[in-house]
Amino acid sequence: MVSLFFLKGHGERPMKLSRQRFSHYALGSVVTLAVALGIGTTNAFSQSSTTIKVDGSSTVYPISEAMAEEFMKQNSGTQVTVGVSGTGGGFKKFCAGETDISNASRPIKKSEIEACKAKGIEYTEIEIGKDALSVVVSTKNTWLTDITIAELKKLWEPDAEKKIMKWNEVNPKWPDTKIALYGPGTDSGTFDYFTAAIVGVEDFSRADYTATEDDNIIAQGVSKDENALGYFGYAYYVENNKILRTVKVNGVEPSETTVNNGAYHPLARSLYIYVKKSSLSSNPKVKAFVEFNLKNARRIVPDIGYVALPESRYTAALKNL
Amino acid sequence: MAKSFTQPDDRAQPPVFLASLSQRKTLGGLFQLLAWLATVLAIVILAWLLLDVARQGWSRLDWQFLTSFPSRRAAQAGIVASLTGTFWIMIIVALVSFPVAVGAALYLEEFARDSWFSRLIEININNLAGVPSIIYGLLGLTVFVRIMEPITGGRSLLAGALTLALLILPIIIVATREALRAVPDSIRMAGLAMGGSRWQVVWAHVLPAAFSGILTGMILALSRAIGETAPLIALGALAFVPFTPGCSKEFPYFNPGDIVRCPGDLLHSAFTVMPIQIFNWIGRPQKAFHDNAAAGIIVLMAMLLLMNGGAILLRNRSQGARGKS
């Protein structure tokens, strides 16, 4: 500052003004330094005890969001945060000990079990509901009401690429019209599950279809084309049931009954939450939250567009906590 | 014209002279029309997008929406958590990136000699400005979230802000250097001739003269940071955060003083930002959430316009000042 006065000289007016403004900002950077120093001295994890950290699958996210919201209405001192890292990304954080609960749209994989073991993370697996992967066509489509697993495989397997281009090539009874396919992109857990269940090998799919991470685009695309077919989670069908129609797979329609009695096989997938055992035992709030999940699943899970398990399954899980 | 493009040998020769004036004028007019169409096309597409968003989101945009936390019911959901998250991120990004970027630019422009070292830095900074933002996210995840966890507190506001600060540093450095270069050398010469040291000349004359240019670059860089989603998702920013960072837990939930009152709580807090909230809503099956997303986009656009407007205002002011002196 001393040097500033020293150099002031003639100091044209506009110059002086901006110099004043400048020193304001110089002050700002001093504050930054002070803050940076302050961080080191303050207690880093003052809030971790009252925060329940949930992360993982984007499919399970709406369930956790609803549970967290309702749980916090009743337990005002507790904060629940929910992230969307995908099932795999969620397990990475979970097995590094960074989260209390990991959402998953498939069971934990061997490699992930080992990663958790290596870090000494023990967990409880809880099935929270089911999602029926739905094969949908436009309501304009009049002829495709039933499809077999074999036909779906013929339609979606990698060998179909550039070969199976017309519907009558899948089934001679179907019309001689061009096939338009819509499906989730390769990063999606839905894609993993569908390919494993239909083609037989995870992530094996034909690539010449409209792939998108936004399931709403699938709904829009399929609805406008009577020769289009797509697949996604049941919730997206429910929201679009005026413009879309589900196709029976091996003669079975997706519904709560067919999903729970196992008839809608293999496209019904389980949704899980994985809870860290040490959080369950050391943090009563985590336990309360998991119990809240199980007690309210029958009400909340269908509300979101998924299929709830029978009451007995939830009470059994409650007992095993 | 087509001829000269197809025959590469012709390139070095001057363009063919058209004797007919009316033909030349038609050509000129045609080019002007094309240029005009290009502009109009860009504006029409933008306007169409904006109108579409406004039509969908306008009815949702009310006080409740601005002051509510996220909810599973679209009609009760709001953006207060992501809005304050965005405010805080912007403040901290500005506080961190400003001194570093201006310092680096000053060094390169005013102090560094033309050596292999300074040239290496220059090339790297220019390259960094073009690195995809997701890469910064992965870098932030490793450095700020994992390695520096004792300081940043993991997936915290601070880690997010530092990552975004890194992302926009090259942009601010380049802008600052441009602003410094625009300061006439005669000012430096005069300062040095008066016996001032290099530092005194820079501090008292060069920086104030370049300041509005620097600020413009800074604001434009912040406008870029405000819309970034990818690096924060890579970092693991959360989607459902039912509280705001800092220690203002009552309405209006945002108090700039928190940075002094409770820096630890604030900087280590979990957070979410507007683009993540919007992204999350768009992916939902229910149409009501899409309306929320549209309303969120309007708020984000308004913030962006305010910031860019501020940048333009500052630039005009500096040009006016220069004109008078």
User: Which SS3 state, helix, strand or coil, does residue A104 take?
Assistant: strand
Cross-chain Cβ contact A6/B99 below 8 Å: no
Strand partners, A275: A101, A124
What is the per-residue pLDDT across A249-263, written as a single tens digit (0 to 9) for each?
999 999 888 998 889
Residue scoring higher pLDDT (B257 or A281): A281
Model confidence at A2: pLDDT above 70: no
Residue scoring higher pLDDT (A40 or A76): A76
Which among A44, A72, A235 has CB closest to B153?
A44
What is the per-residue pLDDT across B71-96, written as a single tens digit (0 to 9) for each?
888 888 889 889 989 999 999 999 99
Tell me what pLDDT residue B8 has. 54
Query: In angstroms, what separates the C-alpha of B27 from chain A's closest C-alpha?
Result: 43
Which among B150, B212, B241 has CB closest to A18?
B212
**Average of per-residue pLDDT values in chain B:** 86
**Average of per-residue pLDDT values in chain A:** 83
ipTM for the whole predicted complex goes beyond 0.95: no
User: Across A79-88, A209-218, A241-250, B253-262, which has the greatest mean pLDDT?
Assistant: A241-250
Q: Do the beta carbons of residue A252 and residue A182 sit within 8 Å?
A: no
What is the per-residue pLDDT across B231-247, written as a single tens digit (0 to 9) for each?
888 887 788 888 888 77
Q: What residue has token string 């499906």? A: A183
Residue scoring higher pLDDT (B164 or A188): B164
What does the pLDDT average to over A159-186? Answer: 91
Domains of chain A: 19-129+271-320 (3.40.190.10), 132-268 (3.40.190.10)
Helix B157-181 vs helix B207-226: angle between axes, to the nearest 10 degrees?
A: 140
Burial class (CB in 10 A: 0-12, 13-18, 19+), B259: buried
What is the per-residue pLDDT across B10-28, written as a single tens digit (0 to 9) for each?
556 777 777 888 888 999 9
- Give chain B positions within 8 Å (CB) of A132: none
pTM of the entire predicted model: 0.77
pLDDT bracket for residue B40 (50, 70, 90)? very high
**φ/ψ (deg, to 5) at B272:** -140, 160
Model confidence at B117: pLDDT above 80: yes
Tell me what pLDDT residue B95 has. 92
Helix (H) or strand (E) holding A315: helix A311-320
- Give chain A positions within 8 Å (CB) of B98: 25, 28-29, 32
Q: Do the beta carbons of residue B291 and residue B58 sit within 8 Å?
A: no
Query: In angstroms, what separates the C-alpha of A104 from chain B's closest C-alpha?
Result: 16
Percent of chain B past pLDDT 70, that is, above it, reads 94
Cross-chain Cβ contact B238/A81 below 8 Å: yes
Cross-chain Cβ contact A35/B259 below 8 Å: yes
Burial class (CB in 10 A: 0-12, 13-18, 19+), B292: buried
What does the pLDDT average to over A62-69? Answer: 92
Q: What residue has token string 């080019």? A: B31
Q: Do the beta carbons of residue B144 and residue B152 sit within 8 Å?
A: yes
Question: Could you give the CA distance from residue B165 to residue B101 in angstroms, rounded to a whole number?
Answer: 9
Model confidence at A291: pLDDT above 90: yes
Characterize the bridge pairing of strands A101-104 and A268-276: antiparallel
Token code pair at residue B130: 């073009």
Residue scoring higher pLDDT (A314 or B152): A314
Tell me what pLDDT residue B202 has. 92
Strand partners, A248: A146
Token code pair at residue A308: 């709830």
Question: Could you give the CA distance from residue A223 to residue A234 in angstroms, rounded to a whole number?
Answer: 15
Tell me what pLDDT residue B101 has. 94
Model confidence at B285: pLDDT above 90: no
What does the pLDDT average to over A8-18? Answer: 40
Q: Do the beta carbons of residue A221 and residue A110 sit within 8 Å?
A: no
Residue scoring higher pLDDT (A77 or B45): B45
Tell me what pLDDT residue B73 has. 87
Residue scoring higher pLDDT (B180 or B258): B180
Model confidence at B286: pLDDT above 50: yes
Percent of chain A past pLDDT 70, that is, above it, reads 85
Tell me what pLDDT residue A88 has. 85
Model confidence at A45: pLDDT above 60: no
Cross-chain Cβ contact B95/A31 below 8 Å: yes
Using a CB–CB cutoff of 8 Å, tell me whether B256 touches chain A: no
What does the pLDDT average to over B248-269? Answer: 78
Tell me what pLDDT residue B262 has. 78
pLDDT bracket for residue B7 (50, 70, 90)? low
Q: Do the beta carbons of residue B170 and residue B129 sit within 8 Å?
A: yes
Model confidence at A212: pLDDT above 80: yes
Q: Do the beta carbons of residue B244 and residue B84 sit within 8 Å?
A: yes
Q: Choose among A184, A161, A166: nearest CA to A231.
A: A184
Residue scoring higher pLDDT (A19 or B159): B159
Cross-chain Cβ contact B208/A304 below 8 Å: no
Question: Could you give the CA distance from residue B98 to residue B165 in angstroms, rounded to a whole number?
Answer: 9
Q: Choose among A185, A187, A303, A179: nearest CA to A234.
A: A303
Question: Could you give the CA distance from residue B98 to residue B173 in angstroms, rounded to a whole number?
Answer: 9
Tell me what pLDDT residue B247 has. 74
Alpha-carbon dihedral of residues A291, A53, A48, A116, nearest 10 degrees? 100
Tell me what pLDDT residue B260 has. 78
What does the pLDDT average to over B186-206? Answer: 92
What does the pLDDT average to over B54-64? Answer: 90
Q: Choose among B251, B301, B271, B242: nearest CA to B91.
A: B271
Question: Could you give the CA distance from residue B134 to residue B92 in angstroms, rounded to a whole number?
Answer: 20
Model confidence at A300: pLDDT above 70: yes
Question: Could you give the CA distance from residue A253 to residue A257 in angstroms, rounded to a whole number?
Answer: 10
Chain A, window 15-54: residues with a beta carbon less than 8 angstroms from a chain B beta carbon: 15, 17-19, 21-22, 25, 28-29, 31-32, 35, 38-40, 42-47, 51, 53
C-alpha to C-alpha distances, A243 to A150, A227, B68, nearest whole angstrom: 26, 14, 33
Question: Could you give the CA distance from residue A267 to residue A149 in angstroms, rounded to a whole number?
Answer: 10
A2-11, A44-53, A102-111, A152-161: which has the minimum mean pLDDT? A2-11
Tell me what pLDDT residue A6 has. 35
Tell me what pLDDT residue B114 has. 84
Tell me what pLDDT residue A188 has. 76
What does the pLDDT average to over A95-109? Answer: 90
Tell me what pLDDT residue A48 has. 42
Tell me what pLDDT residue A47 has. 41
